[in-house]
Chains A and B, each alone.
Chain A
C-alpha cells in the first residue's frame, strides 16, 4: 500500500498515537448524520469534534438491527428530515472543511450495496471519510467491501463481542485496518443502567493477542465514570447514545463531551 492509499489508516493511527502519547485513550464520539435535523447537525458535530480524537458519523438507516431504541429513533428522525446516504457524505465533506480530526462512517451494508460498493467508496473518499465501521458485516462475509475501501484510501473496522471465540477474534482482528471495535456487552447499542463492563477485560486480553491495530471499546459507555473504567483497558472509547439522549433532553452536548473526554485519561 502506498502512503497516499493508506491515507485514512495513517490518519486514524496517528490520532490513536497522539492520545497514547498524552496518556489518554482516544475519545470517539458517535452521532447520527442529520440529527436532530440537518440545520443543527453541523453545530452538534462541531461540539463533539472539539474534543474528539476520531469522530464516528452514522448513516441513518431504516432497519438498524444492531442498534437500540436511541440510535434507531435518531435514524428515523434524520431520515424523516431528508438525510440520505449521499446527503450524509455531503455533511461530512462540510465538516472536513473545518476539521482535521479523522472521520469514520458507521453504516449497515444495505446502503452500500444500494449505491453500489464502488460508487459508495468513491463518494465517501471524495467526502474525506477516513474509515468505515460495518456493524452487520462480519469480515468473512464480503471481502470486496474491505478491498474497495482500501483501494480508496479508507480504513475498515470490524467488531468483536464477548461471545467471540478466539478463532473469530483472530479473524476479525486480522481484517481490521483502522482500529478494532470491541463491543462491551452482548446486546445492541444504548446507554445502560449501571456499568455492565464485566466482560471487557477478558475480551481485551484476547483482542491484544491478535490485533495489530488499536482496540476501542463501545456500547453502553455513557459518562465520564464509565469512560474512565474503559480507558484503563482500551486504546479508544466510543460513546454514542448518551449524546443522542443529551440532545433529546436539551442538555449541552459540548459539556458532556468535555467531561467524557476528561474521563478518557489513563491514570
Chain B
C-alpha cells in the first residue's frame, strides 16, 4: 500500500477554517455528521481501506494521471513552461471520480446501501453513479432542470449506470437547488443513506474529507515534477474553482509550505459575462461572507441575505459559493482568486484544442486561459502547472451552440 491521506492543520476541531466552514444544518443531521466524521477518521488510518482505495485509484481510475508538458501552449504564451495535470485521463473524465470512489467505499464501510449526490455539470453525478454501480449501491442523483438540458449526455450515462436522476425545478433549477434537494433527501433518509458530496463545500467534515481525497492530485504532481524538473514545487499552480475541489486537491499539498517556499496558487473563478455585470459565479471577487449548504463562505447573496443566482458558461462552476478553505486562503493571501469570463474560457478551450489536440472541460478552460496570460509574464525557466480537471466531451454540443451564436453575431454585425 502506497496511498496515505495527508494530515493538514486545518480545519480546527469545530470544522472551522478561521471564521469559515462550520455546520449550519438542521439538527437532524448533526448526529449523522458526527458519525461520518468518526467513520472517516478511522478509515483514513485503516490499511484495509487505504489499500482498497489505492487499488481502485490505480486499476479503475487510471492513476497516476500524467503530468504533461504542453509545448505548443508554452510556445504560444512565450514565457513559463506550462504543464497540464491530466485529470481528464481519469475514468469517467474528471477529477470527481477520486472523491466519489473514496466516499462510496466509506458508505460501504458504514453499512449504507443507498447513496445520493448532487450534480451540476453531471461529472460528479456520473462519478457517483459509476462508484455506486461498482460497489452495488442504490444511487439517486439530483440535478437542476437547466443543467439536465445542458448536459444531456451525462444524464444518459447516469441512467445507463443504473442511477435515478431526479430533476430539480425549485429555485433556479441549477446546482445550488440540486444541492438543497440532496440535503433535504439526506435529512429525510439520514439513517440509511450516505450523501456523496461533490466538492469542498457543505458542513464539516465534508470540506476536509473531500480535500483529503482530492489531494492525490497535488501529491502526484510533487514527485512527477521532481522527475522532470528536479524540483517538487512549481512557480505557480492554476486551477478552476466552482466549489473548489479540483483546486484544493492540487493546492493543499503545497498550501501549508512556509511563506517563500509556496508556489503562487491561483484559482480561476467563473466571471460569466463579467463581474461588473452581476451575471457571474465569482464568489470571492463578487460575493460577501454568508452561509449556504451548511457552511460559512464567500457567497453571492444580496444585502438581505437572499442567494443571488450565479451564472457561468460551465455548469460545473455555476455555484454561488466557494469552499471554506479557499475562503481562508483568500483572506490570508495563501492563494489568489482571479475572475475569468465565459468568452475567455471559450478562447482557452479553443487554444488548448487547436494547439495540443486536447479538448478540455469548459471548467478547466478557465484555468487554461489564465495560465496563458500568466505564463507570458514569466521567464522560460519558470514552471506553471495547470490542473486540467476534466475533458470536454460533455461540453462539445454546448460549445458548438455557443460558437455558432458567436459566428452569427459576427456575420450580422
Q: State the A residues within 8 Å of B (CB).
A: 61-63, 65-66, 68-69, 72, 76, 79, 84-86, 108-115, 135-138, 140-142, 158-165, 168, 172, 183, 186-188
Sample of 18 A–B contacts (CB below 8 Å)? A65-B183, A76-B171, A79-B306, A108-B291, A112-B305, A114-B290, A114-B303, A136-B24, A138-B27, A138-B30, A159-B26, A161-B26, A163-B30, A164-B28, A186-B190, A187-B187, A188-B26, A188-B187
Q: Are B31 and A165 in contact (CB under 8 A)?
A: yes
The residue of chain A having its C-beta at the shortest distance from the C-beta of B290 within the complex is A110
Let me know if B307 is at the binding interface, CB within 8 A: yes
CB <8 Å contact, A115 and B28? no
User: Do residues B28 and A183 form an inter-chain contact, with CB atoms below 8 A?
Assistant: yes
Question: Which B residues form the contact surface with A (CB < 8 A)?
Answer: 14, 22-32, 170-171, 176-177, 180, 183-184, 187-191, 289-294, 299, 301-307
Q: Are A137 and B24 in contact (CB under 8 A)?
A: yes
Bound-state Cα–Cα, A40 to B290, Å: 32
Given known pairs A85-B304, A141-B23, the reply for A113 and B291 (CB within 8 Å) is yes
> Which of these, A65, A112, A168, A186, contacts B30 with CB under 8 Å?
A168
Minimum distance in angstroms from A173 CB to a CB of chain B:
11
When A and B form their complex, what is the total count of cross-chain residue pairs whose Cβ atoms lie within 8 Å?
A: 115
- When C-beta atoms are compared, the residue in chain B nearest to A169 turns out to be B27
Residues in chain A near residue B188, CB distance under 8 A:
186-188
| A141 pairs with B22, CB closer than 8 A | yes
CB distance A163 to B190 under 8 Å? yes
For A162, the chain B residues whose CB sits under 8 A away are 28
Q: Decide if B292 touches A110 in the complex (CB within 8 Å).
A: yes
A86/B27 in contact, CB under 8 A: no
Q: Are A63's CB and B31's CB within 8 A?
A: no
- Within the assembled complex, what's the spacing in Å between the Cα atoms of A187 and B28? 8
Residues of chain B within 8 A of A111, CB atoms compared: 304-306
Please tell me which one of the listed residues B24, B31, B180 contacts residue A168 in the complex, with CB atoms under 8 A apart. Answer: B31
Contact A113 B180 (CB under 8 A): no
14 additional contacts (CB under 8 A) given A110-B301, A113-B290, A187-B187? A62-B171, A65-B187, A66-B26, A68-B184, A76-B171, A108-B305, A114-B290, A114-B303, A136-B26, A138-B23, A162-B28, A183-B28, A186-B28, A188-B184
User: Distance (Å) between the CB of A146 and the closest chain B CB?
Assistant: 14
**Among the listed A69, A113, A142, A163, which residue makes an inter-chain contact with B305, where contact means beta carbons less than 8 Å apart?**
A113
* Complex CA–CA separation, A183 to B187 (angstroms): 12
Q: Is the CB of B301 within 8 A of A114?
A: yes
Closest to B176 in A: A63
- CB proximity of B18 to chain A, nearest CB, Å: 14
In whole angstroms, what is the CA distance A159 to B305 when docked? 22
Query: Given A113-B305, A160-B27, are A65 and B191 also a contact pair (CB < 8 Å)?
Result: no
Cα distance, A160 to B126, chains bound together (Å):
35
Is B27 touching A161 in the complex (CB atoms < 8 A)? yes
Assess whether A186 is in contact with B170, with CB atoms less than 8 Å apart: no
Chain A residues, CB < 8 A from B289: 113
Alpha-carbon separation in the docked complex, A6 to B292 (Å):
31
Determine whether the beta carbon of B304 is less than 8 Å from that of A65. Answer: no
**Contact B26–A115 (Cβ < 8 Å):** no
Which residues of chain A are near B31, meaning CB under 8 Å?
163-165, 168
How distant is the Cα of A183 from the Cα of B289 in the complex, in angstroms?
A: 29
Bound Cα distance A160, B31 (Å) = 11
Q: In the complex, which residue of chain A has the Cβ closest to the Cβ of B188?
A: A187
Q: Are B305 and A85 in contact (CB under 8 A)?
A: yes
- Chain B residues with Cβ under 8 A from A158's Cβ? 27
Chain B residues whose CB sits within 8 angstroms of the CB of A138 once the complex forms: 23-25, 27, 30
Closest chain-A Cβ to B299's Cβ sits at a distance in Å of: 8
Query: B27 near A65 (CB under 8 angstroms)?
Result: no
Inter-chain contact B291/A136, CB cutoff 8 Å: yes
Contact A65 B180, beta carbon cutoff 8 Å:
yes
On whether the beta carbons of B190 and A172 are closer than 8 Å, the reply is no
Contacts of B26 in A (CB 8 A): 65-66, 135-136, 159, 161, 183, 188
Nearest CB of chain B from residue A145's CB, rounded to whole Å: 11
Tell me, rounded to whole Å, the shortest Cβ–Cβ distance linking A63 to chain B: 5
Contact B293 A163 (CB under 8 A): no
Contacts of B22 in A (CB 8 A): 141-142
Question: In the complex, A164→B170 CA distance in Å?
Answer: 29
Chain B residues with CB under 8 Å of A142's CB are 22
How far apart are B290's CB and chain A's nearest CB, in angstroms? Answer: 5
Cβ distance B179 to chain A, nearest Cβ, rounded Å: 8
